Chains A and B, each alone.
Chain A
Amino acid sequence: MAVNDTLEGTHKIIEEARAQQSKLNPLAPTVNDFNQELTTLNLGPTHPATHGIFQNILQMDGERIVSGVPTIGYIHRAFEKIAERRPFYQITPLTDRMNYCSSPINNMGWHMTVEKLLGVTVPKRAQYMRVILMELARITDHLICNGILGVDTGAFTGFLYLMEEREKVYEIYEEVSGARLTTNMGRVGGMERDFTDVAIQKLRKWLKEFPAVMAEFEKMFNRNRIFMDRVVDVGGISAERALNYGFTGPNLRAAGVDYDVRVMNPYSSYEDFEFEIPVGTKGDTYDRFMVRNEEIWQSLRIINQALENLPEGPYHADAPHYYLPPKQAVYKNMEALIYHFKIVMGEIEAPVGEVYHSVEGGNGELGFYLISDGGRTPYRLHFRRPCFIYYQAYTEMVTGQTLSDAIVTLSSMNVIAGELDA
């Protein structure tokens, strides 16, 4: 066995080299001086643990992160620019592609923004239907985040359990809108169609089966020694810093601030439902994980209430200027044909004005700031994307931590590249 095949041997060689060098030139930095030398490490852009395309150039001191430079924009698709040339209904597919883990929330948020601008009131049934879909979307969003956090800590089982449930939710989406991931769900003025019997059946079946799976997942993780060792006190942020960084959603609530758009500015009849806002105390990875778990339970509560009290009535507003007439009527009825043509060609009359509307997205306050000049397209549309805003705190949160902590911190922040780059 050669001398440098053992750790002691390596150390001995380094010591000898150091001693020799300091004899020749005492002022020069020594070779292999691990106290002074930093390693540059590229975390991303296509690192499997970043779950999206963004880069962090980290300066590492051994296993510790000294500093980091985040680079984003790898999937920037200029949605704000594209939106300036599209009629309102054509912007819905753009919103799908922001936070693609919870597309229905983005869709509904956009519809509500336009409805606010146009002054359309959506009937109660459509509002409840939207609440059901938005809460399903929140659950899938949190399932992804917490499932992936499990994978990043080495527990693949939980992820598989949750993905199966997410798949079932996607089947409900499919039954409601025809699409699974980029849903393009709902229309300005309500929903595009009523829930079918199959959709209701699937939803009821899922509501009955899912809690057991979720309880099993929680049993696997919540008090698991190995998991807790990896996530407790990792990547924490104080409430003050979180607010200063513009955190919203589960990440802010984990830090102990009970801000939730659904409660503070209720939209789509959220004031009718009883639910609680879970908050954490330290804002670390474990708190974020627990807040998301509890939010899943609260979302289930909301869905159950909405489904039990689903009002009878129309599923869209009586707004022929903005809501597409039924296809049968278009073939037979002159007025319906005219409205159909005008809506599809984007010739609806929009008032001049500016409106800000925000909804509680999967990972925070998703805001739409729409300036209309009365034309067929928005004059300016700005998306307040929670990911973009809170991801800038990442460097501060992981500085001084180890690389493996940085990975779980990133997972638990639920940074979705589509929303980050828009």
Chain B
Amino acid sequence: MAEQNEESPAAQETAAALDPAAQKNAQLLDLLNRLFGADTFTDVEEPYGLLTVTTTRERIHDIISGLQQDQELQLNFLTTMCGIHYPENEGKELGMIYHLHSLINNIRLRIKIFFPIADPVVPTMTDLYSTANWMEREAFDFYGIIFSGHPNLIRILNVEDMDYHPMRREYALEDGTREDKTDLFFGR
């Protein structure tokens, strides 16, 4: 590690350019900007080598459909999608995270969208991917995210008469009134 730090920034850049994963991510980011415009994406990061972009729910359907049809990198495999809840992000409490994969070029892409919990409506992907059906039902079941256009948006894993969405952060896993388990030393 120490040796790498001593290298000049230019040398580091060349090293990054030679790294095949970084190169692929740069190529993918270039394609995204070309197809959908650079202003569509915010928070472009590469945590652990996986290109992650954030966009809006208005654009998400276009982007995933555009990438599915794109012949250059062929990101046409929806690996998984899941919901997420950040209660402290005012106006962007809920989110959906999509993982796309190109089985031809072996590039992965993570797309995130965030939207207010008061209006949790996002477009469905079931018209593009049959696999989105149950994944979206799961996200609805866990987080109460409503997928407009979904053919059968009902709970999938929990019982139908459940009246809350259990993966939201306000539902603590254990009974909050219990005191015998309070840990005074570590504050949890």
Mark A residues whose CB is within 8 Å of B.
72-73, 76, 78, 80-82, 84-85, 116-117, 241, 243-246, 257, 259, 264-265, 345, 347, 353-356, 358, 365, 367, 369, 371, 376, 380, 382, 384, 388-389, 391-393, 396, 421-422
Contact = CB atoms under 8 A, between A and B. Distances in A.
B134 A388 contact: yes
B47 A355 contact: yes
A376 B188 contact: yes
A243 B47 contact: no
Contacts of A81: 166-167, 173
Contacts of B188: 376
B173 A353 contact: no
A76 B50 contact: no
Contacts of B156: 72-73
Contacts of A265: 106
B67 interface: no
Given A241-B130, A393-B130, A73 B158 contact: yes
A389 B80 CA distance: 9
A389 B106 contact: no
Contact of A264 (B99, B106, B173): B106
Interface string B132-165: 0111001000100000000000011111000000
B63 interface: no
Interface string B166-188: 11000001100000000000101
* Most chain B beta carbons < 10 A, residue from A369, A393, A422: A369
Contacts of B31: none
Contact of A367 (B47, B80, B174): B80
A371 B84 contact: yes
A384 B157 CA distance: 15
Contact of B79 (A72, A73, A384): A384
Interface of B: 47-48, 50, 52, 76-80, 82, 84, 97, 99, 103, 106, 108, 110, 129-131, 133-135, 138, 142, 155-159, 166-167, 173-174, 186, 188
B167 A80 contact: yes
Given A73-B157, A81-B173, A384 B130 contact: no
Given A345-B186, A356-B99, A244 B167 contact: no
Nearest to A76: B157
Contacts of B84: 371, 380
A382 B80 contact: yes
A354 B142 CA distance: 20
B76 A243 contact: yes
B89 to A, nearest CB: 13
Contacts of B78: 246
